[in-house]
Amino acid sequence: MANTTTARRDSPIAERLAEEEQAKVAASGGSSTELAITDFGDDAGAGLEGTSVSEQTVPIIRMLQAGSPQLKPSNPGYIKGAAQGMILNTALGEVYDGTKGIDLIVAAKHYHYGMWIPRAPDGSGGGFRGMLPWNDPIPQGLVAKHGKFKKLPHVIEGADGMEEDVELVETGQLYVLYAPAGELSIETAQRAVVSFTSTSLPAYNAWVTRNNNWTYLQSSGVHAGRMMPAALYSYRWNLTVAPDTKGNFEYFIWRSLALLPAGSKPRDALMRRDDPLFLAAREFYQEYRAGSVVVDQAAAVKGEGDEGPIPF
């Protein structure tokens, strides 16, 4: 799986782009410098044949907190100009203004409970021990006993056969195509995963609720005559970062996703089904459903508890 949305030459996206390029050539009187740069002919993709999923990294989008290593000049991961409250692409080391945020299209979502070994008071130890579906009897029983919006204590059998104390953390993840605010296009869009845990979960919950509640009467297909929500990848969104405090703690959280264009109503914001970005997001969704999108879950969620004293 590629990090960008570059289309296969035989895909609907590629056909659409080819038509757009031909239109540019016609409008320019038969020549186009841009076409010469972007159309590689038979050399397109040469050398990348047979690239496997294991060779590639799905970028993780995270917020920078006060304790993030990217802010420490002595750390190998230091990024000049980075500051808390900015947004980080962990694979590329790119940072974006958190107040302006990133524009994105959601291809898929994944709601689950991550299992984590608690860290010691000095920050040592810890570790990721896998995931449980949200409807698994274990988290369901623990939520009934302890309540939501908190770490749930549990005991599992470790690799050595010994019992191991873990905490179950409620997690919502969005698989997205994104670019810095105002720059999202088929040429700039990149694939990534954004995780919502702890104090950022309300933003995820609100986004899911809106998508599920915006329904439209269907006139064809298996849902004809029914009110149904659009596919997740039917809308563009802007995701920003906001400061928050709780007691003596100061940290940053994901702000609720804002529909694009700003101020538009859901029906007016729907993307055309032949929009290259719509097609690219649908392709990402289909790969996710097929199980071919692999994410380092430990890296995807790492950060909220590791990079600053964020209250759960």
Nearest to 100 by CA among 182, 203, 196: 182
Query: According to the model, what pLDDT value does residue 127 have?
Result: 79
Distance, C-alpha 288 to centroid of its chain: 12
Q: What percent of the chain has pLDDT over 70?
A: 79
* Tens-place pLDDT, residues 53-101: 556 667 899 999 988 889 999 988 899 999 999 999 988 899 999 999 9
Span between the terminal Cα atoms of the chain, in Å: 34
Please identify which residue in the block is written with the tokens 């919006």.
149
* Tens-place pLDDT, residues 4-63: 444 454 566 666 665 665 665 566 555 444 434 556 778 877 887 777 655 666 789 999
- pLDDT band at residue 128 under the 50/70/90 scheme: confident
How many other C-beta atoms lie within 10 A of the C-beta of residue 244?
Answer: 15
Distance CA(65)–CA(85), nearest Å, equals 6
